[in-house]
Amino acid sequence: MRSWIYLMVAIVFEVVGTTSMKFAAGHYPILGHLLMYGLIGLSYFFLALAVKRVPVGVAYALWEGIGIVLITAVSVTWLGESLGLYKALGLGVMIAGILLIKAGTRAQADTKRTDDLEVATC
């Protein structure tokens, strides 16, 4: 469970770090760059902690996919960027992919537990 919490923390740091790029490019270049590099570095640190127990492909897909969805939401909500039809469809497909990856991980874990129980009872 702790690894999943690390993954969620990594996602939050990625979203805030990536959002701070806007400030680095505009109003507060030095502070924005420091914030951006620090938070993205923390994001990778927590991602590394998460992959100790979460398969790296799953962790990276969730980290990147959920991060993109949240960054898009932040950019539309707070930064005044637009969300067109193609972006919305792309995000919908991405969310479907995230759900499928997570479901596949759960199904694989259930199969492994069943196999382990069968071996133990033999």
Cα–Cα dist 32/29, whole Å: 5
pTM: 0.80
Nearest CA to 20 among 35, 30, 40, 8? Answer: 35
Q: Which helix (DSSP H) or strand (DSSP E) does residue 119 occupy? A: helix 85-121
pLDDT tens digits for 68-113? 999 999 999 998 899 999 999 999 999 998 888 888 877 666 666 5
pLDDT tens digits for 27-80? 778 888 899 999 999 999 999 999 999 989 889 989 999 999 999 999 999 988
